[in-house]
A and B are shown apart, each in its own frame.
Chain A
Amino acid sequence: MAARQVRVGSGAGFAGDRWEPAVELVERGELDYIAFECLAERTIARETLALQRGQGSGYNPQLADRMRAVLPAAAARGVRVLSNMGAADSLAAGRRTAEIAAELGLDDRRCAVLLGDDVRDAVAARPDLPLMETDEPLESILPRMASANAYLGADAVAAALETGAPVVMTGRVADPSLFLGPVLHALGWPYEDYERLAQGTAAGHLLECAGQVTGGYFADPGVKDVAGLARLGFPFADVTAAGDVTIGKCAGSGGRVDAATCTEQLLYEVEDPAAYVTPDCVLDMTGIALRQAGPDCVAVSGARARPRTPTHKVSVGYFDGYLGEGQLSYGGPGAVARARLAGEIVTERLGLRGFAYDALETRLIGLDSLHGPGADRPEPYEVRLRVTGRTQDRKAAEAVGFEVAALYTNGPAGGAGDAASVREILAVQSVLLPRDLVKPRVEVVEC
């Protein structure tokens, strides 16, 4: 029978997030579900390549640590766990999770794995699809494609929960849908009830970055103070059968939950607030009201939604050359002039050696590396030269860091603390794939 209310916690807001706040939520948060959102846009492409080269598991490297920390308390309290830590190999991540459950001596070692987000074959058959970012045909990047993953919806997540397994492992799922899934499952909402899907999607969006709604990524000392960021509490949402939503966190944890923190997160990564597209609906945030309902407790109302679109967004990751980088610091009188001269020398050297770059940039950390050049900025005491070169030629990429380090004995006075790196560039663009070409399915693994 459907519940009258459900509490869903947020255990992670990105791949490298802290895990103590998740343990705290499971132990003290009186949760029904906890979901860990651990997939950035480029993560699947990176994990796919790592898997192909035998340099990684294909799933989140912190999966084992996180599961060992959370599963015992979750099993003891009947809290069901969901995560998109499966990344490029959800099945292997599910098997590993079941093994860990066995190692921990848990009774129920089942893990429901949601598959079907990997749509490389489906998109390869549609080279005509336009890329959303550049409007070029998909064909232009197909030969370099590393991954193609459709954003699955809350219906697929709810289907995985139907198996009864205590843990659900997924690959690409839209972030709000990972949280809406358990709400749908627990409250039995019809997938056509857009009024309630709107409220549930708003709740999922507020939860998806974990600490970013409880005071993380918010503090501005003297303007917006946040106490206890070293022991920041992660959020949960209470959702009632009628669609009432409140956001809260564990009493005694660090951070704050109020209209200001919730508004920042509500608009996070949003373009048109009247048309926030998820696989489940098109959310309209313009009527949303946020009301302090208690200490660190905010009521969310007024979300509306239009019917979901006929397509799934697909992130296509592809190899796009190399980025070479070199850094060196300068301090004291004339630091900026010496660093600028150093940058000019590196640029000239790379030209003399015959290397060409799609982009070769020189910036001074401390002056213009984040926001570009600007007038009327005071000259800092010290700056750090940063030269980057983007190129399809690995040797040209390596030469950037080499020439920066060579400034030691050949460049301006007083350079110190060099660092060099070369990394592969994984770019991501998107296409829209008709819904009937995306076929989610669930497989239960156990150990």
Chain B
Amino acid sequence: MLRVHDLAHARAGDKGHSVNVSVIAFDEAGYERLLRELTEARVAAAFAALAEGPVRRYALPGLGALNFVIERVHGGGVTATGALDIHGKSLSSLMLAIPLPGNEPED
């Protein structure tokens, strides 16, 4: 099974009410594939247990990177201080764990 981790690296940052996760491809082919397959819907599904969303994606072809903004993580961030990772900084790893369709049948 191919995962984002096989094609890219990532870093998450706290924006208060949202979290951003950059996904940076190791090479151009990886970027093209992520652009096709790592959609807002796929990311939203992977984060569904944690975030209400929506998820927005920004493409940076010059840097071979995608930037995702995930809204309302842990219910919104403002008062969500009960979470162990209150800033959502470990969420880069959740992004990297997302499986990609690869050769398996498209769902």
User: Measuring CB to CB, which residues of chain A are less than 8 angstroms from any residue of chain B?
Assistant: 41, 132-134, 217-218, 220, 223-224, 260, 263-274, 285-290, 302, 320, 323, 325, 358-359, 361, 363, 365, 369-374, 386, 388-390, 425, 427-430
Contacts and interface: CB of A to CB of B under 8 A. Distances in A.
Given A133-B77, A271-B18, A363-B84, A266 B94 contact: no
Nearest to A287: B62
The 3 A-B residue pairs with the shortest CB-CB distance in the complex, in nearest-first order: A269-B13, A372-B49, A267-B22
B18 A370 contact: no
A384 B84 CA distance: 12
A269 B15 contact: yes
Contacts of A133: 16-17, 76-78
B58 A41 contact: no
How many B residues touch the partner, as a band? 35 or more
Nearest to B89: A217
A285 B78 CA distance: 27
Interface string B43-74: 00000011000001010101111010100000
Contacts of A325: 82
Nearest to B13: A269
Most buried by A among B10, B24, B62, B79: B79
A372 B77 contact: no
A360 to B, nearest CB: 8
Contacts of B94: 370-371
B20 A427 contact: no
Contact of B11 (A134, A267, A374, A427): A267
B40 interface: no
Contact of B81 (A272, A287, A386, A390): A390
Contact of B20 (A217, A269, A286, A369): A269
Contacts of B67: 267, 270-271, 273
Contact of A386 (B10, B11, B63, B84): B84
B85 A370 contact: yes
Contacts of A270: 13, 20, 22, 67
Contact of A390 (B56, B69, B79): B79
Contacts of A386: 84
Contacts of B58: 272-274
A134 B20 contact: no
15 contacts: A133-B77, A133-B78, A134-B78, A260-B24, A263-B65, A267-B11, A267-B67, A271-B18, A271-B67, A273-B58, A358-B79, A371-B93, A373-B49, A374-B49, A427-B78
Given A134-B78, A268-B20, 9 more contacts: A133-B16, A133-B17, A263-B22, A263-B24, A273-B67, A359-B75, A369-B84, A386-B84, A390-B82
B79 A320 contact: yes
A371 B50 contact: yes
B95 to A, nearest CB: 10
Contacts of A370: 84-85, 90, 93-94
Nearest to B72: A133
Contacts of A359: 75, 80, 82
B60 A273 contact: yes
B62 A288 contact: yes
A41 B16 contact: yes
Contacts of A271: 15, 18, 20, 56, 67, 69
A270 B20 CA distance: 6
B91 interface: yes
B81 A217 contact: no
B78 A224 contact: no
Given A268-B13, A271-B18, A323 B81 contact: yes
B16 A430 contact: yes
Given A133-B77, A271-B18, A428-B16, A260 B9 contact: yes
B84 A220 contact: no
B94 to A, nearest CB: 5
A390 B63 CA distance: 41
A323 B82 contact: yes
A325 B64 CA distance: 42
Nearest to B94: A371
A365 B14 contact: no
A223 B9 contact: yes
Most buried by A among B15, B62, B76, B91: B62
